[in-house]
Each structure stands twice: as C-alpha cells, then as structure tokens.
Amino acid sequence: MASFEAKDIRNIIFLGHSGCGKTTLVEALLYGGGSIPKMGSIGEGNTVSDYNEDEKEKKHSASTSLMSFVYNSKKINMLDVPGYTDFVGEMIGGLRAADVCIVVVNATSGIEIGTERAYRMAMEKGVPCIFFINMLDKERSDYDKCFDDIKRKFRKHCVAVDMPVGKESSFKDVVNILHRKGLESLADAEKSHAKGLTDELSEAVAETDDALLEKYLDKGELSVEELDSAFKKAVIKGDVTPILCGSAVRNVGIKELLDIIVNYLPSPADRPAASGIKAETSEKVTAAMRSDAPLSALVFKTLSDPYLGQISMFKVFSGTLQANSSFYNVSKGVKEKIGPTFSLLGKTQVPAESIKAGDIGCVAKLKDTTTGDSIGDEKNQIKFEDIQFPEPAISFSLKPKTRADEDKISTAIHKISAEDPTFKVTRDEQTKEMIVSGMGDIHIGMMINRMKMRYGVQVELGTPKVAYKETIMAKGDAQYRHKKQTGGAGQFAEVWMRIEPLQRGTGFEFVNEVVGGAIPRPFIVSCEKGVKTALNSGPMAGFPVVDVRAVVYDGKTHPVDSKDIAFQTAARHAFKESMQKAKPVLLEPIMDVDIVVPDEFMGDITGSLNSRRGRVMGMEPGDGMQTIKAKVPLEEMYKYVNEMKSITGGRGTYSMTFSHYEIVPSVQAQAIVEKAKLTKKEEAEE
C-alpha cells in the first residue's frame, strides 16, 4: 500500500452498544469500498474484523481490530471496538488514534447504555461524532423513534443527511437529504417529512456561518451548493452531527456512508495538532502534522499474534516512520530497531514502505515498547499524555489446573495483559495467591477463555482472600523460659517481654531495655529475630501482626546451654503470650471508592454502600451524573461491580484505590477467625 498524506486519510472509530452491528457495518464498508470480494457474517464466523477464535466462538468483538483500505484515493483506517462496557479500555485506546467517531445505533433497541457511553467518551476526548442508525430491515425497527431520541438525548444540532424508504422487511433504500436526491420517488407524506428534514439541516448548518444564516433568513432556504462547503466545515468543527441510516446486512445506505466519510469527515490535517511536552525541558509543544517534520507517534494498542508475536499499533502525529529503520522510545528512554511497517486488514498484513503523519500503522516484535508509549526522534523528543486506563473493578484468585498449566501460565499472562492494560495479574505476598483483575465478569471470562484457546492454559477461578492483619489495643506482658535437655547439649533461655500498640501504619519496633547484662547483646539480636518470626502469624487467625512495639526488659542465661536458637524460641513464645493479653484485633483493608452514576440512581447506590459497611464521604455533581466518594472494606468490593450493574442497568462505573487499614467489627471478626481455623484444620488433614 502506498503512503498517504494527512489530508487523504480518514481515521474512524466505530462505537456503540454491543449487538448494534458495528462489525457487520465495517464488513459492509469494506465490501462497498471494493476491499473484499464478498461480505462475511458473524454467524458464520468469517468477518474480517472478528478473526480471533474466541470472538468467533462468542460471536462478539473482544479486542480492537484495524481495517485499512483505499477508496476514492483516500486511505480509510477503521477501528472496530467491542461494545461491552467491560472492554472500555479498548475504547479509550482507540479514541486516542481516531479523528472521528461513528456511533452505531440498533434501530430495534434505540439509545442504549453503550450508545450513551460511546458518545460521552468521544465528546470528552474532543472527537467529533456522526450517528448511523443500523438494522432498519429488522422487525420492530423504528427509525423515527431512534432519530427523535438521538436529537433529544444528545444535541439539537444532530441532523439527518439521509432518510429510509420503507420499513422493516420492506425497507429497501435511503434518499439523500443533503443533496436532495431521490426525493421525487417518495409518496406525498414522505415528501413532506423529507422537506422538514431538509429545512432542519439547512437551519442547523446556517447557524454555524453568519453570512449563510443571513441568506437563509432572507430566502428561507439554501441551495445544495451553498450547503455543501458549510456542512463540511460544521461537521469537522463538531458544530453539526450528521445522522445516517441503513442496513449493513442488506448493504443499504453503505454507499451514502462511504460518500460522507471521504467527502465530509475530518482528516487528521483538519483536526487540532496533538500536544505533548518536550522530554528534556517539560515545555509544552505541538506536533506539526507534516510528513517532513521530526517523527512523533503514540502506541495506542498492542496485539498478540500467535504466529507473528507482538504487533504494536500506532498513530503518527508528525514526520514519517520508514520500514526497516529505528525510532526512539521517549517513554522508556531506549532506541528500538524495527522491521517492515504495515497496515492491517483484520489479521492480514498490508505492507507499507512508510507510515506518514496522520496515518495509523503497525510494526511487529518490538522489544521494549508497550501500549501508551510515545515514540519519535531522539533529537526532538515529544512525550504525549499517557493513556489513562481505568483501574480494574473485579478480582478473582487464579490457580493453574495442572503442573503443565503452571509452567505455561506466566507467558500467557504476560502476552494477554500486554494486549489489554485493564487486565492485571498480581501476586499477593501475604496470601500467596495469584490475583487476576478486570473490568467485569465478561471481561475476565473472555481473558481466561483466550488463555485456553490461544496458549493452551487452563485455570480455575476463586474469590481472592483478603490480606487481613492483626494488631493489639492494649499492653501485654509475659515471661517465657525455654529449657530443653536432650542428652547432649541443652538449650536454655528466659525472656521477659512487654508489648504495646503503635500508631496505625507504623509497622513494628523492637526495643532493648535489658540492664546489667542479664541478656548478652548477641542474644538480644536473637530475641529480635524470634519476635520477627512471630510477626508472620498472629494468635487470632494466623495473619501478619503490625503496629506493635516489643520491649525486652529482662531475662536469664545459662553459661553453657544458652544459644541463639534458644533465645529465638523464648522470644517468639513470650511475644505470642503477650499478644493474647493485649486485646488482639483484626485489621482489614479499606478502599477509597469513586462511583460515577446517573442522578436517578443516587439513593439506591448509597443504600447499597451502607449495606456493605461503606461510608459515603462526599458527592460531586456532574452533567446528569454524580460521583459518590466512599470508604468501603475491600472484602465487600470484590464483586460489587455486578450489584452496581444491576442497580444502574450498566450505566454506573467505579474505581478504587487502597486507603488504610481499620479494625474489623467483632461480628465479622469472629466469622473470619472461625473460617481461618477451619482452613488450617483442612490443610493439616490433607
């Protein structure tokens, strides 16, 4: 494929609710643009976009795919992104590369949660949108309702540029409102409706241009020629949002959409220049959208191909990346050599000698470069803003099914988490569990299925253990004598110890108050070792002990039998006995939780938080949304995402970070202690 200048490129992201037909629409555009000989279908598992085995099996997209093709001398890069809210990370990454967003609406379902989220995210990123009402051939499809809902829900400057002819199974064509083509074939009632849509379009466009508005007010209408250039400017600036319609399956309305894409949607040259900071000085700079400028680009997506290895997808903001050359990774501070550069048509590589400013391209097998990295020219380093992926919302413990799976799991996890930064795997040092975290049940399920299908790794999921800790509320004192006589050398040590609570978060302190050499200094060190061993397993349920000061203040020795191991043992027992007398309690991790929900669900969400021992700390109002700030025990948050989805119909999101440790209420503490004792008993029996 030849290299294209920015003005001849269109970078489009397809967003919408799951099941709205994004993948089929992309397929229809590829067919309509002459890029594929016939359309595939999701049912048959042969679409260009959903080429992974797990996507074919589940019959929905689970990863961003890139389709690049040439139509009317324009290079069109299409990013097909999953519709499920669990895959929000794919949307966030793709929006950093797109210059325009096509929001696809299911004509039978209308505005859904995914439609709202797609439009809102595009607006937040400053990416102009157009709507495509799809599936007009389906039973119970309703164009008028969808059209009215879009205008009411999103903005008054949403305008029709075509309209359907026929309904449901009799839907056969669309007429062009913008160019007023095909209107003569309409029945009288439809003609009247088309006239109303033409007037709406003329008025909306006229309002974006003072000279045109004067003409419109004077004459009451605008010619097609007068509308045309002003319409393009208004779409590029986001002042007008076109609404198109059709049926991707029947290939109706596709030519009209292609015409809008190449003639009216913004090219990278029409969009504001990407801004970043100079790596050396932190000075704010913009990347010049010219192919002869120094190279600057952003890696927005990583794919893991079973045969090719890692594929890095990037958007070039300035300059040109030549095949078989090198670039400087500004984020990591390293130089990378690269092989061939290419575009993608689903899984098929389309070789390109270079990728110029404004274009989206790919390279394979990079050593140090990952999603979100800024790449460019070492002498002119621009660091772009990091891609802010949300923190995972749900966690499970992960256990390989067999020894063979255990050997392969780390490679599989590394590749899958490189592909999707919202999928994270950590190891809890305290509980020794592997914890897998993601955006929801569907997300985790898809990733686990991917491990199995791509890498042959089978795992079992369970609810993770909470990293509880133990501490004390009062002082405790104990003396312990360790005496052992076994025929040979004996062991003797006596340690007098008191313990006292420390401020939360302090950790552990060891204090030596022995006077007169009752315990020689080398054995004081032994005492400290013994206490530190005892800290690993508290007396209540065997959790680590924190925020305690241990003071050794007296003891006795034996001239022959006192030794290091004896004092370690005596100190360990003295500490445990002191703990029992010092009112031990359990501590649990408390999380800072930010929940964003539509206004109408505020009461239900605060109620659900209260039932989970949460404390609402404050609220921040937004545009139809509220951010609830709360502190909630981690134990209560592991599967909260499902409850929140149920309450808000999938319209709520949350993120959480660790805040502090807090004492577990006695009722819950008792249950945790009993469960820990039962687990120990079962492990001992095994």
Task: Determine what percent of the chain is predicted with pLDDT higher than 90.
Answer: 49
User: Is the per-residue pLDDT at 392 higher than 80?
Assistant: no
**CA dist., res. 253 & res. 245, Å (int):** 6
**pLDDT tens per residue, range 494-528:** 999 999 999 988 889 999 999 888 999 999 999 99
**pLDDT tens per residue, range 543-596:** 889 999 999 999 999 888 888 999 999 999 999 999 999 999 999 888 888 888
Q: How many independent structural domains does the chain possess?
A: 5
Sign of CA dihedral 282, 326, 314, 3: positive
The angle, 0 to 180 degrees and rounded to 10, between the axes of the packed helices 564-581 and 521-534 is: 50
Residue 583's H or E segment, with its range, is none
User: Is the per-residue pLDDT at 214 higher than 60?
Assistant: yes
**CA dist., res. 552 & res. 649, Å (int):** 59
Q: Please tell me whether residues 82 and 166 are part of one structural domain.
A: yes
User: Is the per-residue pLDDT at 529 higher than 90?
Assistant: yes
Largest CA distance in the chain: 116
Domain with 325 in it: 275-384
Work out the angle at residue 368's Cα, subtended by the Cα atoms of residues 459 and 329, and round it to the nearest 5 degrees: 140
Q: Please tell me whether residues 644 and 534 are part of one structural domain.
A: no
pLDDT of residue 609: 93
Token digits of residue 482: 């360790």
Task: Determine what percent of the chain is predicted with pLDDT higher than 70.
Answer: 95
**pLDDT tens per residue, range 160-190:** 999 999 888 999 999 999 988 888 778 888 8
pLDDT of residue 260: 95
Residue 414's H or E segment, with its range, is helix 403-419
Asked whether residue 367 is domain-assigned, the answer is yes
pLDDT of residue 652: 81
DSSP annotation string for 32-66: HTTSSSS---TTTT--SS--SHHHHHHTS--S-EE
Asked whether residue 634 is domain-assigned, the answer is yes
User: Is the per-residue pLDDT at 659 higher than 90?
Assistant: no
pLDDT of residue 245: 96
Q: How many CB atoms sit inside 10 A of residue 34's CB?
A: 10
pLDDT of residue 52: 60
Asked whether residue 141 is domain-assigned, the answer is yes
Which of 557, 582, 607 is at the close of a domain?
582
Give the start-end residues of each E strand in 515-624. Answer: 548-556, 584-598, 615-621
User: Is the per-residue pLDDT at 542 higher than 80?
Assistant: yes
Asked whether residue 14 is domain-assigned, the answer is yes
Asked whether residue 217 is domain-assigned, the answer is no
Pick from 102-116, 354-368, 644-658, 667-681 the range whose average pLDDT is largest: 354-368
Which of 349, 365, 384 is at the close of a domain?
384
Asked whether residue 626 is domain-assigned, the answer is yes
pLDDT of residue 292: 93
User: Is the per-residue pLDDT at 58 higher than 70?
Assistant: no
Distances (CA, A) of 138 to 135, 171, 174, 250: 6, 9, 15, 10
Residues forming beta bridges with residue 495, ordered by sequence position: 480, 555
**pLDDT tens per residue, range 401-445:** 888 877 788 888 888 888 888 888 887 766 677 888 887 777 888
